[in-house]
Amino acid sequence: MYCGAYTQGTIFPAPNFNPIMDAQLLGGALQGISCEKDVLIDILTQRCNSQRLMIAEAYRDMYGRDLITDLKENLSHHFKEVMVGLMYSPASYDAHELWHALKGVDTEEKCLIDILASRSNTEIFQMKEAYLMQYNTDLQQDINSETSGHFRDTLMNLAQGTRMEGYADPSTAAQDAMILWEACQQKTGEHKNMLQMILCNRSHQQLWMVFQEFQNISGQDIVDAINECYDGYFQELLVAIVLCIRDKPSYFAYRLYNAIHDFGFHNKTVIRILIARSEIDLINIRQRYKERYGKSLFHDIKHFASGHYESALLAICAGDAEDY
């Protein structure tokens, strides 16, 4: 059981950091006749996010231009997505991904699930602020207009960022478990509503107890029960919430494996998870991936990606020869 165990990212603050020197090197790399992509990788994947934001500031002071704009103009395809993605703060990156998922040609439900099922109240609050600032529109309004049904209701609930924190009451755990069990039997609109209210609003500590009680009452794991009773994106979202509460690194390892193997290397998903988790728990995600699937994440990226795009992903993934 995952109890907020020690988590670790792959990207750390660079020692002896000099934003002015980095900005100069980036300017040179971007202004050459051929863009020096190795320089971009060496700098942007080896600095932490707050350092990259300082580099962007120094770059603007030095050249009077926006670094993100220059990266977009000089790079292309997935390599561009990685380099540009690294330049957003975590909240801005979540906002950016959600906006594209909601406003693209097709709504990307899996992106909405990945982000909203896994973020803390604070992260949700910050991403909503960033969303409003970047797109001048309200995240919850956009979710409301671009999704539907119980899937929408659950996303809306998560986007409120009102999950209880740190509070657990053993005396109500059995009661909640009973409601969940009934919701899996009866499947009325009201039951679906109660199901998502419990999963979106109870604290992690409370839900660990609820899931145990559910197992005691039903003889079944909550994930298996949800998979049997529900379908579509509503079911996927409920399962994602449960998996993230149990062990977030395992959830992301599973999503990466899916993206790489079941969707023919779904670039957007791989890029988003690597960047978003790079300073939080990417080391743990790598460990879970290797334990669960036998091959390392490093190996699978190397196998499916190529060129500077591959180099950039591997630099974020980090790891060494034995990981291969």
> What are the φ/ψ torsions at residue 157 (nearest 5 degrees)?
-65, -45
Long-range CB contacts (< 8 A, 24+ apart) of 171-177?
172/206, 173/206, 173/209, 173/210, 173/212, 173/213, 174/213, 174/217, 176/202, 176/206, 176/210, 176/213, 177/210, 177/211, 177/213, 177/214, 177/216, 177/217
DSSP per-residue letters across 293-314: HSS-HHHHHHHH--HHHHHHHH
The mean per-residue pLDDT over the stretch 212-236 comes to: 92
CATH T-level assignment (fold) for domain 170-246: Annexin V; domain 1 (1.10.220)
- Does 262 or 245 have the greater pLDDT score? 245
Quote the pLDDT of residue 168.
84
What is the model's pLDDT at position 320?
A: 55
- Per-residue confidence band for 173, with pLDDT thresholds at 50, 70 and 90: very high
Question: 63 near 27, Cβ under 8 Å?
Answer: yes
CA distance 118 to 128: 15
Q: What is the pLDDT of residue 321?
A: 45
Amino acid at 166: G
Q: What is the pLDDT of residue 203?
A: 93
Q: What is the pLDDT of residue 4?
A: 45
Q: Does domain 90-160 have CATH number 3.40.50.2000?
A: no
* Residue entry with tokens 């000089």: 74
Check residues 207 and 185 and name the one with the higher pLDDT. Answer: 207
> pLDDT digits over 70-85, tens only?
999 999 899 999 999 9
Least confident of 11-25, 33-47, 182-196: 182-196
Note the pLDDT tens digit of each residue in 252-302.
999 999 999 976 778 899 999 999 999 999 999 999 999 999 999 999 998
> Is residue 169 pLDDT above 90, yes or no?
no
The answer on pLDDT for 192 being more than 90 is no
Q: What are the CA-CA distances from residue 51 to residues 56, 182, 195 (Å)?
A: 9, 50, 42
**pTM for this one?**
0.92
pLDDT at 324 over 50: no
Report pLDDT digits (tens) over 31-70.
876 778 889 999 999 999 999 999 999 999 999 999 999 9
Could you give the residue range(s) of every CATH 1.10.220.10 domain in the chain? Answer: 90-160, 170-246
Do 52 and 64 meet the contact criterion of CB atoms below 8 Å apart?
no
Q: What is the pLDDT of residue 188?
A: 78
Contact 208, 182 (CB under 8 A): no
Both tokens of 184, joined, read 């899996």
